[in-house]
Amino acid sequence: MKFLLFFPILLAHVTFAQPLKEFNEERLKTDERLMLTLGSWSVANFIGGGIGWAVTEKGEAQYFHQMNVLWNTVNVGLALPGYLKAKRANPELSLAQTITEQHRNEKIFLFNAGLDLMYISAGVILRSEAKTNLERRDQFNGFGNSLLLQGGFLFLFDLTAHAIHNRHRKEKLSPMMDRLSMSSTGIGLKWELDVPRHVKENRTNPIK
């Protein structure tokens, strides 16, 4: 059995302050781990590609390693600031700020997944062009294979990141939101609370 209580918005924020802080701490920790994953992949590809670029004779393989180095230079430049931002971010946000940050995170990863499909498509196009451009066949094939590899990894990475944040929101933030709704006056909030059974019985069957 539930009953409704009217609370000012400020009181609702105070009530949810600790759960919101815990939610944001978990969200930021997730971002830290994701950026570490991206950074680790980038560094490994940067080192491996650099060695391959240096020791491989000119040809398709060398162009493949060259593109891996160039591509992951950018990835490292994105992963490091992203990690530091998540590490230093303040988890003590209001309900509105938390919702904004959560939706922004989900949208960014979903948008990036769309960009990743473009990278994969570019790789397919380059490999296709290599069939008719014999002069630059090795370059197009090498670059195309690298784009397929890097774009494919990033596509899986961004979809996974979006899924993780989406599940976290549904498990932790959505239940808090479900307990809140606007009051009939529009100036407060309704907060649903569970009422113990013995309280219910006393309210419905008062002793006379």
In whole angstroms, give the CA distance from residue 44 to residue 96: 39
Angle among Cα 153, 154, 158 to the nearest 5 degrees reads 125
Whether 138 and 92 have beta carbons less than 8 Å apart is answered as no
Name the residue among 91, 89, 92, 77 with its Cα closest to residue 35. 77
* pLDDT tens-digit map of 23-34: 999 999 999 999
| Higher pLDDT among residues 13 and 16, named by residue | 16
> pLDDT > 90: what percent of the chain?
72
What are the residues facing 192 on neighbouring strands? 4
Average pLDDT of the segment spanning 128-155 = 96
Say whether pLDDT at 96 is over 60.
yes
In whole angstroms, give the CA distance from residue 126 to residue 197: 69
Q: Residue 71: how many CB atoms within 10 A of its CB?
A: 21
Band of residue 203 on the pLDDT scale cut at 50, 70, 90 = very low
Verdict on whether the full-model pTM lies above 0.85: no
Whether 12 and 189 have beta carbons less than 8 Å apart is answered as yes
- Residue 4: phi and psi, rounded to 5, are -110, 135
Classify residue 171 by its DSSP letter: I
> pLDDT > 70: what percent of the chain?
78
* pLDDT tens-digit map of 172-181: 998 887 766 5
Q: Residue 68: how many CB atoms within 10 A of its CB?
A: 27
Name the residue among 176, 151, 163 with its Cα closest to residue 96. 176
- Residue 131: phi and psi, rounded to 5, are -70, -25
Average pLDDT of the segment spanning 13-27 = 83
Say whether pLDDT at 13 is over 80.
no
Name the residue among 203, 62, 73 with its Cα closest to residue 150. 73
Average pLDDT of the segment spanning 47-55 = 95
Which range, of 106-110, 130-134, 149-153, 199-203, averages the lowest pLDDT?
A: 199-203
In whole angstroms, give the CA distance from residue 173 to residue 100: 12
